[in-house]
Copies of this chain bind each other. A is one copy, B any other.
Amino acid sequence: MPEGLVRILRPDGKVEKGQKVPSINPKDLIHLYRVMLLNRRVDERMTTLQRQGRIGFYIGSVGEEAAIIGSAFALEEKDWIIPCYRELGAALLRGFSLFEFCCQLFGNAQDSIKGRQMPNHYASAKLRFGSISSPVGNQIPYATGIGLAARLRGTAEAVLVYFGEGATSEGDFHVAVNFAGVYKTPTIFLCRNNQWAISMPRELQTASKSIAIKAKAYGIEGVQVDGNDIFGVYSVTREAVDRARRGEGPTLIEAVTYRLGAHSTSDDPRAYRDDEEVEGWKEKDPLCRFKLYLMAEGHWGEEKDAYLEEEIKNEIQAALKKSERIGPPSIDTMFEDVLDRVPWHLKEQLEELRRVQELDAVQQEA
């Protein structure tokens, strides 16, 4: 792996001198752009939805789309994605439907996780896309475990796990990467270093020179890449995936990027960071950069773009419309899946709840 920051696509959409754009066919390039744009527009729309009180919470990834989608694109279908909470782009790329996503936001009867978690905490076993949980860093150890299992079974599957630079401070990061180093698991640890962990700046997370350098503590490969450059991210991830498949062990990738939006709809970043800083990073926007490149290469044009924007808008609208009117799951589901079968005490508790609801219905009628 190269030393220093890897960058292929510059903020102005031009290719960095001496660098080569990875060979991706134009159809895929446009698909990547589409998913990035879709991700961006979904984030914007759902943030509004939250403000309108139609959903309870939202957490997006504006500014980090290249880091997320570029890395996920380096995988094959058989590989695993273990997400943090900002990886909608990776899910969409894998084929997670907008309708399913919206159902989860509403926690309705067609939500594949049965209304059990906050918005943005979906899961898709079918797509080998992990179950999202909120505690920062918790997913990292089991990404190592999945990789370990794949290695023990002798398959050539890789595992891509996402987390923020804040998560590197948790013990779970440490034990996970250390285990991966010892067992040479085919795990790619992708740190979205978006400079902030809610109000905590990168410098307060760790005194290390970079996040990538932490790889040395585990005897594994580490690389730092411009996280807003989809080609750079794709390339280093692809290399890491290849190494993983060859049994050469894990890689820690630091994708240097920036959270352009608030941490989540519960947050107001103006309380802790300067507008200037944000403006500076807006100029490095991964989406603009990629669009400029595509246009310069003749793969894309403003007309197509306008059409795509319209298409995406309608798509989102349709998914929302369809999902928002679906009611909640049946109350019985509340007691399912705690264990594989419903044990006696949960049956009793369901009964208790039913009796109360019946009583209530009777009283309301009266």
Contacts and interface: CB of A to CB of B under 8 A. Distances in A.
Interface in A181-228: 181-182, 184, 204-209, 213-214, 216-220
Nearest to A213: B216
A205 B182 contact: yes
A356 interface: no
Interface of A: 169-175, 178, 181-182, 184, 204-209, 213-214, 216-220, 249
Nearest to A209: B219
A71 B218 CA distance: 26
Given A182-B204, A209-B216, 7 more contacts: A178-B205, A206-B218, A207-B219, A208-B217, A213-B216, A216-B216, A217-B217
Contacts of A204: 182
A209 B213 CA distance: 14
A107 to B, nearest CB: 33
Contacts of A206: 178, 181-182, 217-219
A209 B170 CA distance: 22
Number of identical monomers bound together in the oligomeric complex: 2
B216 A217 contact: yes
A172 B175 contact: no
Residue among A173, A174, A214, A217 with the highest chain B CB neighbour number at 10 A: A217
A213 B181 CA distance: 15
Contacts of A249: 207
A175 B170 CA distance: 6
19 contacts: A169-B175, A170-B171, A171-B171, A171-B174, A173-B174, A178-B206, A178-B207, A181-B208, A182-B206, A206-B218, A206-B219, A207-B218, A207-B219, A207-B249, A209-B216, A209-B219, A213-B216, A216-B216, A217-B217
A173 B169 CA distance: 11
A89 B170 CA distance: 33
A171 B172 contact: yes
Nearest to A203: B182
B169 A181 contact: no
B182 A171 contact: no
A206 B218 CA distance: 6
